[in-house]
Amino acid sequence: MPEHVSRLDSGLPPFPAGAGKGAIFSPLPQDTTGGQMRAHTVQTIDADAQTLYKLWRDVSLAPRWMEYVVSAEPKSENVTHWVIGDPDEPKGMRIEYDTELVEDVPGEKISWRSIGDKIEEAGEVTFSKATNGRGTVVVLTESAKIPGGKLGMAVAAISKRSPRQIVIEDLRHFKQLAETGEIPNVCCNPHGPRGVSGEFKSRLYGENNPTPPGTSDLP
Amino acid sequence: MKAVCWMSTGKMAVHDVPDPQIVNPHDAVLRITSTAICGSDLHLYDGYIPTMESGDVVGHEFMGIVEEVGPEVTNLKRGDRVVVPFTISCGNCFFCKKRLWSLCDNSNPNAQIAETMYGYSGSALFGYSHLYGGYAGGQAQYARVPFANVGPLKIENDLPDEKVLFLSDIFPTGYMAAENANIQPGDTVAVWGCGPVGLFAIASAYMMGAERVIAIDRFPERMRLARDYCGATTIDYTDNDVVVVEALRDLTGGMGPDCCIDAVGMEAHSNTLVGMYDKVKQAMRMETDRPFVLRQAIQAIRKGGTLSIPGVYGGAIDKVNFGAAFGKAIHMGMGQTHMHNYMEPLLKRIEGGEIDPSFLISHRVGIEEVPDMYKIWRDKQDQVTKIVIDPWQDRLGQPLAA
């Protein structure tokens, strides 16, 4: 676990512990108290670990499958500059920060943490062989301090998705893109008049979530 | 384009909405030539499927001509005539590769809603709530079809729309219902509900070697189709002298039917006290489903029999005698139809003249009449058995602009 994650989470157990025979399952803590978010999500993806590692490692592709990423520019081999915000709202709020790689084990693991104190964010993604020829188990763990603390969390949850759900959706988009070459999208769906409550609720239904565009020309 | 929109419980309306566009590389856009109202659309109309919003375009039984394809669509081109399955499947995930198409992992953009309600999300469906993806449906002049390499079935003969349209849902759904019932040659099969899916289940049960099919309903015109076209024995459950479980026992030499098919689902009707209980609880939203048929089928089925459930259930059900299901060691099969397994083989049966699915059509209407038709369909007025829609026709049968 990268140092930054350890600091935020004070001693996460390895995950998924208990996957082997005769072991005891120990869950990861997953909560969003005090403006701090810890989230993990797991998907089995029908592709080999190397392919998935390469897709994840190419950070310039991140805006195509990660939600609320306007751009991700590699500044050097290990440092990436992120612009976070709603790509559909050019004049909306933007958060910019840098992350650096902490660990990079091809085909197995990538972990990162933010640089500077503007935003505290750290994460790790692991790739391991799934049982029964089902491809690769991908585990994504992220922790972050959300700007604005509890209030910021609440606003984030009401306006579009909760930050924790974004982590879950990001890995889902990654799987969709890796398995099908696209990300299902209903943002441009034709519909009749929504009415007042429908207009509000359609946000919850993903219709107004900025679904990343996906790509068909995978590396 | 014109499209039928769900506006609120009990209210459908035709609105002018933007034409659908190619969004993703595997999309196609169809110009719809024929579409239909499904029995399951009534669950939307009656407000029992959560996450419907005002303005949602409904309809999941449709066919048409390919208007435009995305850059990654390789097996369709502009001008192709296709029938579209109501389930949306990516073709590449674990479930699609196992041919469990309606459980596709990758087609539902709102999977998180289904995960909250069901643990995991099934495939997206056309025009069937945001929980099932929020894709615009096919009771419209055009539709966007995602994963067009996988779903649409090309029709390369000159059979009229009416004979192939029902490959989009009800014929495969009735067929899978019979398959899920594990029918062995010589078996006796009981089918609850003589709506379109029930009728196709009866016909399919005979295709699989059933010796006898007993159908339970209350509408004379439907039971007549079940008898005359499909060859079933019918039981009218509203007849005061009929107790369905006893009738089935009497008709099966005291054993009960080998296979039972619940082609009714969450809005079952019953004239008994328990039926009233369900109706009140559902009306008060204390129960999402009225599982009357499910209870009766569990009671009626023979020991070790197989119960197949093509009827839609949405959520929690009440007072189901699970002890009877356990005590008689019955098997159950259910779920949305794995459409892609059945469309092509059933098209061959239609082409071979084994069955003409258009036998159940009672109404042919233009799109503007559809909101009124929902009421007729729900209240079973006017001897309705199936409503087919031409989205390019007005009320008087004249051509309609987009």
CATH number at residue B120: 3.90.180.10
Mutate to test the interface with B, among A189, A202, A209 (most CBs of B within 10 A): A189
Q: For residue A2, what pLDDT is reported?
A: 43
Portion 79-118 of B in contact with A at CB < 8 A: 90-94, 97, 105-113
> Does B365 have pLDDT greater than 60?
yes
Q: Indicate if B162 and B174 belong to the same structural domain.
A: no
Q: For residue B180, what pLDDT is reported?
A: 98
pLDDT band at A96 (very low <50, low <70, confident <90, very high): confident
CB contact under 8 A, A180 and B18: no
Closest CA to B135 of B173, B85, B101: B85
Instruction: Closest CB to A190: pick one of B3, B109, B130.
Output: B3
B199 inside domain? yes
How many Cβ atoms from other residues are within 10 Å of residue A200's Cβ? 13
pLDDT band at A19 (very low <50, low <70, confident <90, very high): low
Q: Indicate if B133 and B30 belong to the same structural domain.
A: yes
> Does A9 have pLDDT greater than 50?
no
Q: For residue A103, what pLDDT is reported?
A: 94
A127 inside domain? yes
CB contact under 8 A, A192 and B1: no
Give the three-state DSSP class for A67. Answer: coil
> Does A216 have pLDDT greater than 60?
no
Q: Among B311, B334, B357, where does a domain finish?
A: B334
Would an 8 Å CB–CB cutoff place B5 in contact with chain A?
yes
Q: Among B334, B352, B377, where does a domain finish?
A: B334
The least confident of A63-67, A176-180, B138-142 is A63-67
Mean pLDDT of the residues in chain B: 94
> Does B315 have pLDDT greater than 60?
yes
Number of domains comprising chain B: 2
Q: Indicate if B22 and B91 belong to the same structural domain.
A: yes
Judge if the upstream peptide bond of residue B160 is cis by omega within 30 degrees of 0. no
pLDDT band at B296 (very low <50, low <70, confident <90, very high): very high
Task: Kindly report the nearest CA distance between residue B310 and chain A, in angstroms.
Answer: 27
Size of interface A-B (CB pairs under 8 A): 121
Which domain does B143 fall in, by range?
A: 2-168+338-390
A219 inside domain? no
Q: For residue B144, what pLDDT is reported?
A: 98
| ipTM attached to this prediction | 0.91
> Does A99 have pLDDT greater than 90?
yes
Can you give the pTM of this predicted structure? 0.91
Would an 8 Å CB–CB cutoff place B125 in contact with chain A?
no
Q: Indicate if B322 and B294 belong to the same structural domain.
A: yes
B74 inside domain? yes
CB contact under 8 A, A197 and B57: no
Instruction: Closest CB to B134: pick one of A134, A165, A189.
Output: A189
B396 inside domain? no
Q: Indicate if B320 and B188 belong to the same structural domain.
A: yes
A84 inside domain? yes
Task: Kindly report the nearest CA distance between residue A3 and chain B, in angstroms.
Answer: 31
Q: pLDDT tens digits, residue range B194-252?
A: 999 999 999 999 999 999 999 999 999 999 999 999 999 999 999 989 999 999 999 99
Q: Indicate if B270 and B352 belong to the same structural domain.
A: no
- Say which residue, A158 or B244, is predicted with more confidence: B244
Contacts of A185 in chain B (CB under 8 A): 23-24, 109
The least confident of A175-189, B175-189, B201-215 is A175-189
| CB contact at 8 A, B278 and B269 | no
Q: pLDDT tens digits, residue range B371-384?
A: 999 999 999 999 99
Please state, in angstroms and rounded to a whole number, the distance separating the CA atoms of residues B75 and B325: 46
B395 inside domain? no
Q: Indicate if B152 and B23 belong to the same structural domain.
A: yes
CB contact under 8 A, B53 and A184: no
Q: Indicate if B179 and B287 belong to the same structural domain.
A: yes
A39 inside domain? yes
Q: What is the share, in percent, of chain B residues with pLDDT greater than 70?
A: 98
Q: pLDDT tens digits, residue range A103-157?
A: 999 999 999 999 987 778 899 999 999 999 999 999 999 888 766 665 555 556 5
pLDDT band at A6 (very low <50, low <70, confident <90, very high): very low
CB contact under 8 A, B134 and A186: yes
Q: For residue A10, what pLDDT is reported?
A: 44
Residue B17 dihedral angles phi and psi, to the nearest 5°: -130, 165
Q: Which domain CATH number covers A174?
A: 3.30.530.20
pLDDT band at B145 (very low <50, low <70, confident <90, very high): very high
Q: Indicate if B127 and B181 belong to the same structural domain.
A: no
A25 inside domain? no
Q: Which domain CATH number covers B248?
A: 3.40.50.720
What is the mean predicted confidence (pLDDT) over A168-182?
96
Return the axis-axis angle of helices B196-207 and B220-228, rounded to nearest 10°. Answer: 20
Q: Indicate if B127 and B256 belong to the same structural domain.
A: no
pLDDT band at A207 (very low <50, low <70, confident <90, very high): confident
> Does A208 have pLDDT greater than 60?
yes
pLDDT band at A62 (very low <50, low <70, confident <90, very high): very high
Q: For residue A209, what pLDDT is reported?
A: 73
Contacts of A169 in chain B (CB under 8 A): 112
> Does A218 have pLDDT greater than 60?
no
The least confident of A87-101, A198-212, B47-61, B325-339 is A198-212
Q: For residue B147, what pLDDT is reported?
A: 98
Number of domains comprising chain A: 1
Instruction: Closest CB to A185: pick one of B20, B23, B57.
Output: B23
Which domain does A148 fall in, by range?
A: 3-8+34-201
Q: For residue A3, what pLDDT is reported?
A: 42
pLDDT band at A24 (very low <50, low <70, confident <90, very high): low
CB contact under 8 A, B147 and A180: yes
Q: Indicate if B157 and B294 belong to the same structural domain.
A: no
A115 inside domain? yes
CB contact under 8 A, A181 and B55: no
B23 inside domain? yes
pLDDT band at A30 (very low <50, low <70, confident <90, very high): low
A188 inside domain? yes
Q: Indicate if B89 and B154 belong to the same structural domain.
A: yes
Q: Among B309, B334, B359, where does a domain finish?
A: B334
A140 inside domain? yes
> Does A160 have pLDDT greater than 70?
no
